[in-house]
């Protein structure tokens, strides 16, 4: 390796010693650039109004929770495209069971988590036991869920009681409950990945399934567990969304593009689609990047179609910049 020092390396070194993932640099840059544009072109609320910041966080909760699950699955070199409809099923079923009655809340929660667990189990079993590619498996599950739910419910069904809206709108002191839940989920994901055997095994299976097998891991179980956890995070997102909307409808999952966006945020956050590498803090940054972008675009009154175009471009730019860096470092 050549050891010539290039100007600018110092900055990189500092980042490396602080173990700052490049995605956080990217997040800060986007926030600053967006904020400055807001100052110049609009009313400058992004820098001055703390409510807007809080709003960015709250808007990130739904995607953030499920993206943590998605990150786990992707680290295991799998993918889950059924999360969007899992969210729909959760929202519809929970509001259908609750029917505005607080007494039904525990039952509803129990039922939707059970459904989520089964969806994850089926995904994991089909992938590992029937050896169907995870992309196809979860696309299949997604279509099955879509068919069932569209045949059964057409629009908003039932409602959640006021007490349940606490999840979506409540605060503990000045902090919204939903943000606490998001941080708990991210923290939980971090703990699972870095501090538990399951996490180690997941990196092993995702990094090289043959190595994992020859090291004596029951690789199938690891993948199945990851899929179950992922589906459960989708359920949690579904519960959050329904508590915000006060009633569930079949289209809310696909409408939020939770399937593809959860994958995109994980990848933007530095998780390798090929598996074995990544983590949930990066994913959180990815989610926040999306949140900041949305807020900036709203502030600037960007045309919604253009918004989507810009989002797409920024995702590609972010990922391209990492691979470029990685290649440069490897050279």
Per DSSP, what are the bridge partners of residue 192? none
The reply to whether 198 sits near another protein by the rule CB under 8 A is: yes
Per DSSP, what are the bridge partners of residue 176? 171
The reply to whether 196 sits near another protein by the rule CB under 8 A is: yes
The reply to whether 150 sits near another protein by the rule CB under 8 A is: no
The reply to whether 207 sits near another protein by the rule CB under 8 A is: yes
The reply to whether 213 sits near another protein by the rule CB under 8 A is: yes
Cα–Cα distance between 200 and 177 in angstroms, integer?
31
267 to 306: interface string for another protein, x by CB under 8 A: ---------xx-----------------------------
Q: How far is the CB of 175 from another protein (least distance, A)?
A: 28
Among 12, 16, 129, 195, contact with another protein (rule: CB under 8 A): 195
Cα–Cα distance between 288 and 62 in angstroms, integer?
11
Record the tokens describing residue 58, joined without a space.
Answer: 């709250």
Contact 322, 22 (CB under 8 A): yes
Quickly count: other Cβ atoms within 10 Å of residue 23's Cβ: 25
Stretch that binds another protein, among 84-92, 166-174, 205-213, 291-299 (CB under 8 A): 205-213
Cα–Cα distance between 94 and 153 in angstroms, integer?
13
Q: How far is the CB of 64 from another protein (least distance, A)?
A: 24
CA-angle at 190, arms to 318 and 211, nearest 5°: 85
The reply to whether 217 sits near another protein by the rule CB under 8 A is: yes
Compare residues 39 and 208 and give the one whose CB is closer to another protein: 208
Contact 250, 95 (CB under 8 A): no
Compare residues 6 and 40 and give the one whose CB is closer to another protein: 6
Stretch that binds another protein, among 32-40, 55-63, 110-118, 202-210 (CB under 8 A): 202-210
Compare residues 297 and 322 and give the one whose CB is closer to another protein: 322
Among 10, 12, 129, 197, contact with another protein (rule: CB under 8 A): 197
DSSP-derived secondary structure letter, 277: -
Record the tokens describing residue 138, joined without a space.
Answer: 């979860």
Record the tokens describing residue 294, joined without a space.
Answer: 């949305």
Compare residues 103 and 210 and give the one whose CB is closer to another protein: 210
Which among 227, 252, 194, 258 has a CA at the least distance from the CA of 60?
258
Residue ranges that bind another protein, judged by CB under 8 A = 2, 195-201, 203-204, 207-208, 210-217, 276-277, 331
């Amino acid at each position: 390796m050549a050891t010539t020092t290039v100007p600018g390396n110092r900055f990189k070194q500092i980042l490396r010693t602080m173990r700052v993932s490049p995605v956080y640099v990217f997040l800060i840059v986007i926030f600053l650039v967006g904020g400055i544009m807001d100052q110049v072109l609009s009313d400058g609320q992004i820098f001055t109004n703390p409510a807007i910041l809080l709003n960015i966080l709250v808007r990130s909760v739904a995607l953030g929770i499920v993206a943590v699950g998605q990150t786990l699955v992707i680290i295991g070199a799998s993918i889950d495209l059924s999360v969007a409809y899992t969210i729909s099923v959760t929202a519809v079923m929970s509001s259908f069971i609750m029917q505005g009655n607080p007494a039904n809340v525990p039952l509803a929660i129990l039922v939707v988590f059970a459904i989520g667990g089964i969806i994850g189990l089926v995904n994991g079993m089909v992938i590992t036991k029937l050896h169907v590619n995870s992309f196809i498996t979860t696309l299949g599950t997604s279509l099955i869920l879509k068919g069932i739910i569209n045949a059964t419910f057409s629009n908003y069904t039932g409602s959640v009681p006021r007490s349940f809206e606490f999840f979506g709108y409540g605060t503990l002191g000045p902090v919204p409950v939903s943000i606490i839940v998001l941080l708990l989920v991210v923290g939980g994901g971090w703990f699972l990945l870095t501090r538990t055997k399951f996490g180690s095994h997941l990196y092993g299976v995702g990094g090289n399934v043959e190595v994992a097998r020859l090291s004596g891991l029951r690789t199938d179980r690891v993948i199945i567990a990851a899929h179950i956890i992922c589906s459960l995070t989708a359920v949690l997102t579904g519960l959050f969304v329904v508590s915000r909307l006060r009633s569930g409808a079949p289209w809310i999952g696909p409408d939020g593009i939770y399937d593809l966006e959860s994958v995109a945020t994980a990848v933007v956050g530095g998780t390798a689609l090929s598996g074995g590498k990544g983590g949930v803090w990066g994913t959180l940054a990815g989610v926040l990047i999306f949140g900041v972008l949305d807020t900036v675009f709203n502030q600037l009154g960007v045309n919604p179609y253009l918004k989507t175009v810009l989002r797409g471009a920024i995702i590609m730019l972010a990922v391209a910049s990492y691979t470029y860096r990685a290649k440069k470092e490897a050279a």
